[in-house]
Amino acid sequence: MLSGKHSHERELSPSQEHYLRAIWELRSERGYARLADLARALEVTPATLSVGLRPLEARGLVAHDDQRFLLLTPAGERVAREVHHRYTVLRSFLHDVLRVPAATAEREACLIEHDISGTTTERIVDFLKLLQEDREVGAPFQARFDAFHRSCGATRPCTDCGLACLTPAPR
């Protein structure tokens, strides 16, 4: 589908970032990660991973035991945590603020995590923190937002584009 050139100026491809995050999450949850577990978690065949992890090993991000348990090097763990961080922030924003259903929020966060810069991520963190910490902003905002989009008239298609648009509707 999408490939090279545009998108993803990062050093690692989306898949590779995904692999790293999944290894880290497995290891956090159960203390170890085997290739087969990882394959299950990522819904990918072991063959795919066997090949796909190779470049990550070559770059010194992933390694393994004498028992072939997967390990993250410090560099690999740093990347994994960054990806996980982006994922978490996005999911929280989508679900906790925008009230997108949990499954959708997770699915979309999984994709967007590879597209979004660190800078943007931190802006969203600021945003979440503001809602959390500033009582004069947080609660009223969320209450209004919830009410706002519950009233289905909130977004009405604009006659020009047939899509809910950003120019305020005439009244």
Query: Residues in the site for a second copy, rule: CB under 8 A?
Result: 1-8, 13-15, 18, 43-44, 78, 81-82, 85, 88-89, 92, 94, 97-100, 104, 108, 110-112, 114-117, 119-120, 122-130, 132-134, 136-137, 140-141, 144-145, 148-149, 154-155, 161-166, 168
CB closer to a second copy, 67 vs 170: 170
What are the tokens at 40? 């299950």
Annotate 17-56 with b (16+ C-beta within 10 A) or e (fewer).
Answer: bbbbbbbbbbbeeeeebbbebbbebbebeeeebeebbeeb
Residue 160 sits at the vertex; the CA angle it makes with 154 and 163, to the nearest 5 degrees, is 45
Q: Name the minimum Å distance from CB 20 to DNA.
A: 12
- Angle formed by the axes of helices 14-30 and 74-92, nearest 10°: 90
Side-chain-side CA neighbours of 94 within 13 Å: the count stands at 21
**Which partner from the list DNA, a second copy, none does 36 bind, CB cut-off 5 to 8 Å by kind?**
DNA
Q: Which of 30, 68, 135, 150 binds DNA (CB under 7 A)?
A: 68
* Residue 152 touching DNA (CB under 7 A): no
**Which partner from the list DNA, a second copy, none does 28 bind, CB cut-off 5 to 8 Å by kind?**
none
* Residue 86 contacts residue 20 (beta carbons within 8 Å): no
Binding mask of the shown chain, residues 12 to 51, with x at each position contacting DNA by CB under 7 A: -xxxx-----------------xxxx-----xxxxxxxxx
What are the tokens at 21? 């995050």
* Residue 4 touching DNA (CB under 7 A): yes
* Residue 121 touching DNA (CB under 7 A): no
For residue 117, count other CB atoms closer than 10 A to its CB. Answer: 11
